[in-house]
A and B are shown apart, each in its own frame.
Chain A
């Protein structure tokens, strides 16, 4: 182990920060570590894929049981990468038998379900301890507390199943619909029918999601456990201080050499050359990236503060040192305030009749006359002088839709212009009819029957009879044109 070539920053961290460091380590070398992990799983794949192909449950059980071997190879690779080495494939192959055989009974059977595995595995793998030494070492490492290790174990358990669920359902989205329905049915019957054999495809899909999920969760938790391990050792052995002292020693030794060289150089070179040389040196130094000016524009937030909220909550909210109890107290306040607001709203609702009737009925605002209703132009200019004659002509020449639309548009146009009915551009046929009926305008009956015929033609494609059209044209009441 060479601390100088470490590839991550060593510093005493809080528990969760050390977990984060471990996750970041795995992320950085994700591909390499995955290769190491699957090399560890290779024996299971080789044996189980031919033999247990039809027994997905036993396959996933074997897969789960074999995980520590994969974790060990991952840890092997990860720890060496951290200290600046990069073991090749052949090293991993050589490590594989050791990863299987090392303390087989303890790791694979006795302590297989141990929640401390991510933290204790580095002790036996990297420090090579056994028996009493091992347990003493683990105790020392755990002296700083094992809350994060236990939390990590719970996360591992939860995430393995949760992620498997997510993967499975994502996969199901891509299935053809009949297979989807079949699987859904099989799953709903799973619990009800005793001894039901689910379709093999379904069990294989569940198994695959579980295996992928176990792989990802285990690889990242090896990293997280290693992060905790490194952090605990940094605390109890002062790795960061040692590293800083080593760097200082390097600098001081280098400085001693540099002073010597400088003195000799000053003795043999004339002062003028020195001056121009120093200029070069200065330029060189200034060219270093430390002197580069980086600019980045950052949007400073508006001081968006709920001052009233802050006042209500008092110091508890504003102060950064609030504890969980403060938060709880604030939550209670929040509930009380919410309740008060709700009460006021309820009171307003209950006595809403007090507010009604105030202000009287306002005279409706005079609106601009609609020019287009239901997508049809209804201005007088857009219509022929004698609508009924034009409509009859259109009907006779077979343009029935046009004939009816002429009549209807003409009627609407008259209602707007002459009758003074307020028709909005967004009104439907029924709205128009309703408005006409509520107004005091003439020819309401005619407009009603015209609307009925129009709706039948426009929406149901029921062509009115010739007699209907003839009577509509003959009785056309809207000959009077122009606004009053």
Chain B
């Protein structure tokens, strides 16, 4: 849980309160990576449409030109409108582009989206595509509206997301390099009871201390001298020992 001090602070994580006061935080994904996913999806869709269109027009020699045109139109319709719907409502919760970049579409509550929501958010892609390049609605979508609304909303939702009540989250984040400090030689029980976020800070201190310079390590440890009871390098050692005690108790 966030402390009282952290209220009104801007964050990329969005807290969602579930039943029984349980709070989860969604790692909402922003416009740039989603734009990349859209690019991959468009490439896949066009590659498929061109390939299948070519094959279908070859079969047109056998089954007749009009039939081939009809089949191509049908294929185009399904690939263009239903590809994102099926994959986002399916077990992945993501199209190929989103899957490759580690994104996922979920409800605002964090649960997987329903088929209806997938239809709504993807069919409204048309509205997000405005304004269109060229004249009228047959032009190339620029997604100006989508990007504008996306940047303007707190949860980075485009119009389709707002209508369907969905958000796009980071599903898979590559692990960050963590360099722990040298292990503590002893364990010391903290002199007073600590709050959960303080325990977390202590373990973060030992987990990441290897990334910091010696001077910086001491500087940070000095802020916790009320807890460690000593300053300088001794404080660092005592904090590491307390963190070890907390970890072993778990």
CA of A394 to CA of B154, assembled, Å: 74
Is the beta-carbon distance between B96 and A8 smaller than 8 angstroms? no
Is the beta-carbon distance between B109 and A346 smaller than 8 angstroms? no
Contacts of A279 in B (CB 8 A): none
Confirm or deny: A114 has a beta carbon within 8 angstroms of a beta carbon on chain B. Answer: no
CB distance from B120 to the nearest CB of A (A): 13
Is the beta-carbon distance between A244 and B201 smaller than 8 angstroms? yes
Which of B5, B17, B173, B201 has the largest count of A CB atoms less than 10 A from its CB? B201
Q: Mark B1-35, 1 if CB is under 8 A from A, else 0.
A: 00101101111110001000100000111111101
Is the beta-carbon distance between A169 and B139 smaller than 8 angstroms? yes
Contacts of A321 in B (CB 8 A): 172
Q: Which of A246, A298, A306 contacts B90 (CB 8 A)?
A: A306
Is the beta-carbon distance between A166 and B200 smaller than 8 angstroms? no
Is the beta-carbon distance between A238 and B205 smaller than 8 angstroms? yes
CA of A242 to CA of B225, assembled, Å: 12
Is the beta-carbon distance between B32 and A238 smaller than 8 angstroms? no
Is the beta-carbon distance between A16 and B33 smaller than 8 angstroms? yes
Confirm or deny: A322 has a beta carbon within 8 angstroms of a beta carbon on chain B. Answer: yes
CA of A321 to CA of B99, assembled, Å: 10
CA of A330 to CA of B201, assembled, Å: 41
Is the beta-carbon distance between B63 and A350 smaller than 8 angstroms? yes
Confirm or deny: A151 has a beta carbon within 8 angstroms of a beta carbon on chain B. Answer: yes
Q: A8-B10, A21-B10 are in contact. Are A252 and B226 (CB under 8 A)?
A: yes
CA of A27 to CA of B92, assembled, Å: 31
Is the beta-carbon distance between B11 and A165 smaller than 8 angstroms? no
CB distance from B50 to the nearest CB of A (A): 13
Q: Mark A409-420, 1 if CB is under 8 A from B, else 0.
A: 000000000000
CA of A235 to CA of B210, assembled, Å: 11
A142-186 with Cβ < 8 A to chain B: 144, 151-152, 155, 162-163, 165-167, 169-170, 173
Is the beta-carbon distance between B174 and A14 smaller than 8 angstroms? yes
Confirm or deny: B144 has a beta carbon within 8 angstroms of a beta carbon on chain A. Answer: yes
A184 (CB) vs chain B CBs: closest residue: B135
Confirm or deny: A126 has a beta carbon within 8 angstroms of a beta carbon on chain B. Answer: no
CA of A253 to CA of B224, assembled, Å: 11
Confirm or deny: A390 has a beta carbon within 8 angstroms of a beta carbon on chain B. Answer: no
Is the beta-carbon distance between B111 and A241 smaller than 8 angstroms? no
A236-270 with Cβ < 8 A to chain B: 236-238, 240-242, 244-249, 251-253, 255
Contacts of A249 in B (CB 8 A): 223-227
Is the beta-carbon distance between B32 and A327 smaller than 8 angstroms? no
Q: A238-B220, A248-B198 are in contact. Are A27 and B112 (CB under 8 A)?
A: no
Contacts of B3 in A (CB 8 A): 247
Contacts of B208 in A (CB 8 A): 12, 235, 238, 241
Confirm or deny: A32 has a beta carbon within 8 angstroms of a beta carbon on chain B. Answer: no
> What interface size band does chain A fall in?
35 or more
Q: A169-B132, A247-B5 are in contact. Are A9 and B223 (CB under 8 A)?
A: no
Confirm or deny: A317 has a beta carbon within 8 angstroms of a beta carbon on chain B. Answer: yes
A158 (CB) vs chain B CBs: closest residue: B35
Is the beta-carbon distance between A244 and B10 smaller than 8 angstroms? no
CA of A293 to CA of B63, assembled, Å: 65
Is the beta-carbon distance between A169 and B109 smaller than 8 angstroms? no
Confirm or deny: A17 has a beta carbon within 8 angstroms of a beta carbon on chain B. Answer: yes
Is the beta-carbon distance between A300 and B174 smaller than 8 angstroms? no
CB distance from B196 to the nearest CB of A (A): 11
Is the beta-carbon distance between A169 and B205 smaller than 8 angstroms? no
Is the beta-carbon distance between B142 and A248 smaller than 8 angstroms? no
Confirm or deny: B214 has a beta carbon within 8 angstroms of a beta carbon on chain A. Answer: no
Confirm or deny: A2 has a beta carbon within 8 angstroms of a beta carbon on chain B. Answer: no
Is the beta-carbon distance between A304 and B89 smaller than 8 angstroms? yes
CB distance from A129 to the nearest CB of B (A): 17
B22-77 with Cβ < 8 A to chain A: 27-33, 35-36, 44, 48, 52, 55, 59, 62-63, 67
Q: Which of B12, B33, B177 contacts A24 (CB 8 A)?
A: B12
CB distance from A77 to the nearest CB of B (A): 15
Is the beta-carbon distance between A241 and B205 smaller than 8 angstroms? yes
Which of A16, A304, A330, A335 has the largest count of B CB atoms less than 10 A from its CB? A16
Confirm or deny: A7 has a beta carbon within 8 angstroms of a beta carbon on chain B. Answer: yes
Is the beta-carbon distance between B9 and A301 smaller than 8 angstroms? no
A312-355 with Cβ < 8 A to chain B: 317-318, 320-322, 324, 327, 330-331, 335, 338, 342, 346, 349-350
Confirm or deny: A277 has a beta carbon within 8 angstroms of a beta carbon on chain B. Answer: no
Confirm or deny: A450 has a beta carbon within 8 angstroms of a beta carbon on chain B. Answer: no
CB distance from A262 to the nearest CB of B (A): 15
Is the beta-carbon distance between B13 and A9 smaller than 8 angstroms? yes
Confirm or deny: B187 has a beta carbon within 8 angstroms of a beta carbon on chain A. Answer: no
Confirm or deny: B241 has a beta carbon within 8 angstroms of a beta carbon on chain A. Answer: no
Is the beta-carbon distance between A301 and B10 smaller than 8 angstroms? no
Contacts of B131 in A (CB 8 A): 166, 169-170, 173
Q: Which of A17, A224, A248, A299 contacts B224 (CB 8 A)?
A: A248
Contacts of B200 in A (CB 8 A): 244
CA of A95 to CA of B61, assembled, Å: 72
Confirm or deny: B248 has a beta carbon within 8 angstroms of a beta carbon on chain A. Answer: no
A256 (CB) vs chain B CBs: closest residue: B226
CA of A338 to CA of B166, assembled, Å: 29
Nearest first, the 5 closest Cβ-Cβ pairs linking A and B are A244-B201, A20-B30, A166-B142, A9-B11, A245-B223
What are 21 inter-chain pairs, A to B, with CB distance below 8 A?
Answer: A7-B10, A9-B9, A17-B12, A17-B30, A17-B170, A20-B12, A20-B28, A28-B10, A163-B147, A238-B204, A241-B220, A245-B205, A248-B227, A249-B226, A293-B21, A301-B111, A317-B90, A322-B92, A322-B99, A331-B96, A349-B63
